[in-house]
Structures are given as C-alpha cells and as structure tokens.
Amino acid sequence: MIEVAPSIVKNMKSTIEKHTLKGMSFSNLQNWCVDQGESRFRGIQLFEWMYQHGINDPREMSNIRKSFRDYLITNCLFETLSIEQILSSALEPTQKFLFKTLDGLFIEAVSIIDGVRHTVCLSTQIGCNLKCDFCATGQMGFSRNLSSGEIVDQLIHVRKQTHQPITNIVFMGMGEPFLNYDNVMDAADIFHNQRGFDLASSRITISTAGILPKIEQFIHEKRKFKLAISLNAPDDVTRSKIMPVNNKWSIQELIHAGRAYSKMPRREVMFEYVLLKGFNDSEDDAMQLARLLKGIECKINIIPYNASGGIYKRPDEQTVNEFAKVLSGKRDTYRVLVRRSKGEDIEAACGQLATKSQENAHA
Ligand code: SF4
C-alpha cells in the first residue's frame, strides 16, 4: 500500500501538532471552519487568501477577524515546502525549482515560458516505484506520496518567482500521478476553482504511465482534465522492456481506455511517445503506432529523448522528422506534435527530474 501523507503533519521545528490547511478542498476547508465555530464563508475567504493571493501569513488576511487570525497563527501550518534552489536555463526561459519538504525530502518542479504560454510541470510523488528504464526519477526509488498541499505549494512558489501568468499545468514531474490519485485530484480542483487559480480544465493535464484501474476511475469523473498516456512503444514486448508497468496492463487495454476517454464530451486524450535511438524509432514502429491509434480523436506527442546518464540516446533530427512524417502521412483522426523539451542544460527536461539532494539527505 502507498502511504498517503496525513492532513495534519508535525512541524519538524516545533513539537506542536498543527493543522495543514494548504491543499484542503474547497468544501473541506469550509467544513473545517464550521468545526472551529466560524462560518462557511470564512472558509471561502481563507481559500482565496491562500490560492488567489498566495498569502501564508494570517496577519495579512485583513478581512478575517483578529481572534481567528490569532487562532490560525497558533494552530495552523501554511507552508509545506521551502525553496532550496532555482536553476535557470541559459538557452531559454526555463527554470527548475528544487523544494524541501517539512520532513527534509526534496522534489522538483519546472517552469517553461514559451511566448505567452507558461507551463508548470509539477511533481506528485517523492521518487517513483514504476521504474521506467529511461527515466531518472524511476531510478531514485520511492519515498512517499506528496500531500495535496505540497502539490499546490509548488505552483504557489513558482507563481511568486516567475511573474508571468501561469497558463498550463502538467502533472508530469516526479512520480506517477494516478498512484496518488486523491491528492492529485484535490490539487487539480484547487487549480481549476474560480476562487483558487481559475484555470480551465483543458489547461490541466494529468499524465500516467498506464495505471488502468485509475484511468477507468478518471473516465467516470465529472472532472474534465486532459489525460495523457505515456505509451513509448508500439507493441507489448518493446514496451515491457522499458516500462515494467506494461506487464500488468497491456497496450491494447490502455488504448481501449484512451479511446473511451476521447469519446466523452469535452475530454481530450494525448499519447506520449518518447523516441529512443535505435529502440522504438524505426519506420515500422511509426506505422505500427499509426495502426494502434487509428480512429482515435487524440494528439500524439513525439518527445525526442533527453539523456539522463543511462544507456538510451536521442535519435538524430532526421530520424525524428521521418518518424513524425510517417505518422502524419496516415492522415487519421489524430494530430502529431514533436515536442522538443526545454531546459535540457539544467536537467529539467522530460525524464531528467531526479533530486540528487535526496541522496545527500539520506547520506
Ligand atoms: S516515467 Fe513517470 S512513471 Fe515512469 S518512472 Fe518516471 S516518473 Fe515514474
């Protein structure tokens, strides 16, 4: 069983047990205020202070009466993470943030600015136990799930530091979001809530390596977030070599679930395909992939691999372009995009996130 971080955590610097309000859902925060003898409206005010305004100090929450502000100061924790380091790419406006949790562990988030588009890539777990062979996070092992507050706090810190409105959120950082389902959904709801970050559902993408029961659960949600399925191979034998999770749920099952999602009103599905030199990048692979996705309204994201010190290499430009051309040439219901990751020089690109500080922390 995966351990879910509790809503009340012990502040490592103090012996007092405090309530962590950050990450509580809109309704739970209102209920919590009622339990403290306050009105539900007080919960709405707190929600707006924390997320719309990014305020962590109750002294600044000017429309809340003083006695309750004092109660909040004494009994509640508002910060779940501190910034340990910010690395800026020399090549483009991409920054990687290293955060420290209250229990002394480390996670990363990435801010990618491309014109008016500002995408933030968030982590959902500390490490990952799915062990995809090409991914640096997969080699770290697994420590624990992030709380919804720790997921939300990544975005609050990035927003404060970057000064350009955030337009898109992708749950594609460290960890498998669907193995931390409830906390990820709570965080995504806060990002979507008009009194929170007010981002449209279509601007929030949740990416999975293929946890089939959770994809099926997601299909039945009222939420309309985008679904991304990390495919990375056109057949089960090839996929199982790089993604052990494929031994549990096959490509056909994932495609079936992706198709079902794409048929739901106002839902979008995307298949991601990391292109590894000499492994999954041939013309035959492209044709097989085209056959697999035939007739599905979706986007295919081709991602040339970013080296992370393992055995895999990035294919050359010509191979990448030919792979995309074979797929596009089939003129099917899908759209093909080649996504060139940003921030490679600061190890912030897809598949490169792994906190070396963790090793130091455990040393
Ligand atoms: S690719 Fe995603 S699911 Fe696979 S090991 Fe890395 S973080 Fe985990």
Q: What is the pLDDT of residues 265-303, one digit of tens each?
A: 999 999 999 999 999 999 999 999 999 999 999 999 999
Domain ranges, ordered by start, for the chain: 23-77, 81-362
Burial 174-211 (b: 16+ CB within 10 A, else e): bbbbbbbbebbbbbbbbbbbeebbebebebbbbbbbbb
> Can you tell me the distance from the alpha carbon of 104 to that of 127, in angstroms, rounded to the nearest whole number?
14
Predicted local confidence at residue 13, as pLDDT: 43
> Does this chain's domain 23-77 share its CATH topology with 81-362?
no
**C-beta atoms surrounding 16 within 10 Å:** 10
Edge to edge, the sheet with strand 76-77 lists: 8-10, 17-20, 76-77
**Are the CB atoms for 209 and 132 separated by under 8 Å?**
yes
> Can you tell me the distance from the alpha carbon of 120 to that of 113, in angstroms, rounded to the nearest whole number?
9
Q: Which residue's entry shows tokens 């897809």?
A: 350
The H or E element spanning position 262 is helix 251-263
**Ligand 1 centroid to 162 CA: how many Å?**
27
Give catalytic status of residue 350 as yes or no: yes
User: Ligand 1 pocket check: which of 135, 305, 306 to mutate, most ligand atoms within 8 Å of Cβ?
Assistant: 135
CA–CA distances in Å: residue 116 to residues 17, 221, 341: 42, 30, 17
In whole numbers, what is the pLDDT of the chain averaged over residues?
90
Of residues 338 and 17, which shows the higher confidence score? Answer: 338
> Which whole number is the average pLDDT over 256-265?
95
Give catalytic status of residue 128 as yes or no: no
pLDDT tens digits along 173-203: 999 999 999 999 999 999 999 999 999 999 9
Of 38, 108, 150, 268, the catalytic one is: 108
**Ligand 1 centroid to 127 CA: how many Å?**
9
CA–CA distances in Å: residue 70 to residues 3, 57, 58, 76, 315: 32, 11, 8, 10, 59
**C-beta atoms surrounding 354 within 10 Å:** 22
E-assigned strands of the chain? Answer: 8-10, 17-20, 76-77, 81-88, 94-101, 106-114, 117-121, 125-127, 142-145, 168-171, 204-208, 226-230, 269-275, 299-304, 335-338
Specify the ligand 1 atom closest to the Cα of 243.
4
**C-beta atoms surrounding 305 within 10 Å:** 25
**Number of residues written out for the chain:** 363
Question: CATH topology for 81-362?
Answer: TIM Barrel (3.20.20)
Ligand 1: residues with CB < 6 A are 128, 130-132, 135, 137-138, 174-176, 209
- pTM comes to 0.91
Question: CATH topology for 23-77?
Answer: DNA polymerase; domain 1 (1.10.150)
User: Ligand 1 pocket check: which of 132, 142, 174, 243 to mutate, most ligand atoms within 8 Å of Cβ?
Assistant: 132
